[in-house]
Structure 1
Amino acid sequence: MVKFAQVKGFLFDLDGVIANTSVYHAKAWHQLADELGVTWTEDLGNQLKGVGRMDSLNLILKYGGKENDYTEDEKIKYAEEKNDNYLKLLDTLDKSEILPGMEDFIKDLAAHHYLISLASSSKNSPLVLEKLGLAQYFDEKVDPATLKHGKPDPEIYTRAAEVLNLKPEECIGLEDASAGVTSINGSGAISVGIGDPKVLHEADINFNDTSEVTLDNIKKEMDKKKF
């Protein structure tokens, strides 16, 4: 069993964990879904959380019964169009979009000399961290272009530990989506789910929102569950 004292690194998802950029992603995907004639629903939006760009597009097409209507080249074009829309929306992003408590938590991790990496499926995550003023606290970032599998496959969290020269078992991963929690669990890291515990029931530790995420609270939960 892993004890809190054995934890050396923290692996972060970005959208919905560090900042509200998930809202920008949803708006950009909504715009594209409208263009493709696919009805946007809250359920569809939830399915896209934590999922990579091409996988998200394929989910939208499948949701609308259009999975066989486009060539791979056309899909790439639409995925790029979504990204262009997303980048335009990001122009207004600043520190005010950091979720409650997350800036203090990340600074506290750095002050306690924990290693920190980013495990985001978004290729724009380095830009987002720069705009949020948090990039300097991250020792490494996983390049999603180098991955063969998206979440819920564990590859991204396995890699997020590797780039820190740590074993996943020495790390804690933070996610707000069920696909991400499954990914963390599959890697062997300890999973912290942020959000509705009914949705994120597979997480080792649950917090209702980011304001509850502190080193002390994580230690309390680990001690309580005797990891």
Structure 2
Amino acid sequence: MGERILGIIFDLDGVITDTAEFHYKAWQWLADREGLSFDRTVNEQLRGVSRRKSLEIILKGSNMEEERILRCMDDKNAYYQTLLEGISRQDILPGVEDLLKGIRRRGWKISLASASRNARFILEKLELISFFDGLSDGYSVVRPKPAPDVFIHAAGQLGLPVTQCIVVEDAEAGVKAALEGGMKTVGIGPENRVGAAHIRYDEPGLIALDDLQSLIPG
């Protein structure tokens, strides 16, 4: 009997590349325009959550009409996309491309699960899109992380049960979502943020494929 095929599901920001500073600048621009309080402490709370949820966090319970909410989200994204125009292969996090190649050599499947609606555009700019068998993004599901929907959708795209999938995440909300979805998780980042994951690494380039294999033995 052959080795079990695994599905490795990656988050995007903070795992494949790091556009966090672009997000911060775009939200800061919007907050300044709208007269909202915003700083890096608030920005840290936005890690791994949807654009709407991010705006709700920034609003801190203040009321805003739906039409204005939609306009703010669109304007923030438009500003963010102008910043993304300069992204390239140089913005791939260290070791990630070798990791993707190693996963491919083992015959495992790869998908992306991100709250971003710019995920495909970013993967294309990074020239990594060919590594991915599936892509689940902000257009794929209604409920964002910490709901498990985007990961369950990603597993479905790979044609694999969630019990054969491992999620690589750098956000607390993402780790929580993957665990709720019944998947093994690899956390990228500090213990106080991703400590609930089954395995934790400081950087994605440090991930060992044998460690992933040990999470779901054949």
TM-score normalised to structure 2 length: 0.93
Tell me, yes or no, if the aligned pair for 1:152 and 1:179 is still in contact at 8 Å.
Answer: yes
1:84-121 residue CA offsets vs partner (Å, 9 max, x unmatched): 01110011100111111111101111222211111011
Q: Report the counterpart of residue 97 of structure 1 in structure 2.
A: 91
The equivalent position to 2:170 in structure 1, one of 172, 176, 186, is: 176
Aligned to 2:43: 45
Structure 1 residues 169 and 93 mapped into 2: Cα distance closer, same or farther (>3 Å)? same
Runs of 4+ in 1 over 4 A off after TM superposition: none
Aligned to 1:75: 69
Residues 1:199 and 2:197 aligned together: no
> What is the DSSP-based 3-state SS (H/G/I as helix, E as strand, rest coil) of the residue aligned with 1:163?
helix
What is the distance in 2 between the residues matched to 1:202 and 1:34?
Answer: 35
In the alignment, is residue 214 of structure 1 matched against residue 208 of structure 2?
Answer: yes
Q: Contact 1:48 / 1:59 at 8 angstroms: preserved in 2? A: yes
Q: Partner of 2:7 in structure 1?
A: 9
The residue aligned with 1:164 is 158
Instruction: Give, in angstroms, the shift of residue 164 of structure 1.
Output: 0.8
Q: Secondary structure at the match of 1:108?
A: helix
Q: How far 1:219 moved relative to its partner?
A: 4.0
CA distance in 2, matches of 1:195, 1:96: 21
Percent identity over the alignment is 38
Contact 2:5–2:164 (Cα < 8 Å) also in 1: yes
Aligned to 1:89, the other structure's residue is in SS state: helix
Q: What's the CA shift string for 1:109-139, capped at 9, x where partnerless? A: 1222211111011011000000101000001
1:213 and 1:27 mapped to 2: Cα distance? 30
**SS, match of residue 38 in structure 2:** coil
1:27 corresponds to: 25
**Structure 1 residue 78 displacement after superposition:** 0.4
Q: Distance in 1 between matches of 2:37 and 2:29?
A: 11
AA matched with 1:12: F
Alignment correspondent of 2:58: 60
Count of residues in Structure 1 that have an aligned counterpart in Structure 2: 216
Two-structure CA RMSD over aligned residues (Å): 1.8
The answer to whether the Cα contact below 8 Å between 1:7 and 1:172 also exists between their aligned partners in 2 is no
**3-state SS of 1:117 partner:** strand
- Tell me how far apart the structure 1 counterparts of residues 160 and 138 of structure 2 sit (CA, whole Å): 19
Amino acid at match of 2:30: L
